[in-house]
Structure 1
Amino acid sequence: MDLTSYVQKVSLEDFGKPFRHEAVWNRRLRTSGGRFFPKDGHLEFAPRILEEYGEAVFRQVVRHELTHYHLYFEKKGYRHGDADFKRLLKEVDGLRYAPPPKNSKRHTYVCSVCGQHFQRQRRIQLDRYRCGACGGRLMEKINPPQG
């Protein structure tokens, strides 16, 4: 897939405006689906979005970045908090946030007394921490692999 021509196609179909810059892949992007660079107008996209979630979700990420792109060049509010950005993103059905990586590791802990569940990104030392609700001991719950 030629990324720049795909973005040009989405821009014309969903915004009715041309995309005149370059779009490139960036494998280093982990938490975001893409980036817009106002200085030179190019867009970067994370290939993991297309690989893990398919073309429908990737197209929504492209719409998100194109929303930044078009509003910036129209000299309107192009940042996430701006009303112009929120309105246009809703109109074109773009994603507000990039979906999380499917292979992200999470650690789940369960209280042995009350059964409360806790999710953490990092492992914790079970002998140092207790349940915040009842003070019981925590046990690690083994999560099945996501995919």
Structure 2
Amino acid sequence: MENHELQKLTEELSLQLFGIPFKHEAIFNPRLKTTGGRYLLNTHNIEINRKYLDQLGFDEMVGIIKHELCHYHLHLAGKGYRHRDADFRLLLKKVDAPRFCGQLPEKQMKRRSGKIITYECAACGTTYQRKRKLDVSRYVCGKCRGKLRKVEEVRVVQ
């Protein structure tokens, strides 16, 4: 799908769902990393992350476009366009747009594997479990201020 096809789709969805034309630009932005799309307040343009189309499919991208169009039309109408606003939440339900986009499979793979490191106080025996390594020369036990030592490191796959 090219930018001109995305523009046409966005214009069609705007007329079908909102009854108001979309008069600005809708483009794919390859620099978006953590979100499916965004509405730009200054230019009123909509940017979409192409990875969501490639990895999750056309329907997911249509949901993202609907979500961003909710921001667009509410902002231009002078109503609450932020995620926390009641106007925004009502319009999302009305047009059946998702509040959040799905997670990309590449992000899911990164989150699934991890490790849990267990530390123990040499003085009182209190154990601490952490996802990140601690510098045992800098940190001490929170109960007795005794020295910590690494007990075990377990790989976790969910």
Q: Same fold judged by TM-score > 0.5?
A: yes
Q: How many residues align?
A: 129
2:115 to 109, 118, 136: 109
The structure in which a higher percent of residues are helix is: 2
1:3–1:23 contact (8 Å) kept in structure 2? yes
Residue 25 of structure 1 is matched in structure 2 by: 28
Residue 148 of structure 2 is matched in structure 1 by: none
CA distance in 2: counterparts of 1:126 and 1:79, whole angstroms: 39
Which SS does the other structure have where 1:103 is aligned?
helix
Q: CA offsets per residue over residues 51-110 of structure 1, 9 Å max, x none?
A: 111111111110000000000111111111110001001111111112222112123336
Percentage of matched positions with identical amino acids: 37
Residue 41 of structure 2 is matched in structure 1 by: 38
User: So what's the TM-score if we normalise by structure 1?
Assistant: 0.76
Give the RMSD, CA atoms, in angstroms.
2.6
Q: Does 1:88 align with 2:91?
A: yes
1:67 to 59, 64, 70: 70
**Higher Cα Rg: structure 1 or 2?**
2
CA distance in 2: counterparts of 1:31 and 1:3, whole angstroms: 20
| Structure 2 unaligned spans of 5+ | 119-128, 137-150
| Structure 1 unaligned spans of 5+ | 113-117, 129-135
The structure in which a higher percent of residues are strand is: 2
Residue 55 of structure 1 is matched in structure 2 by: 58
Which SS does the other structure have where 1:80 is aligned?
coil
User: So what's the TM-score if we normalise by structure 2?
Assistant: 0.71
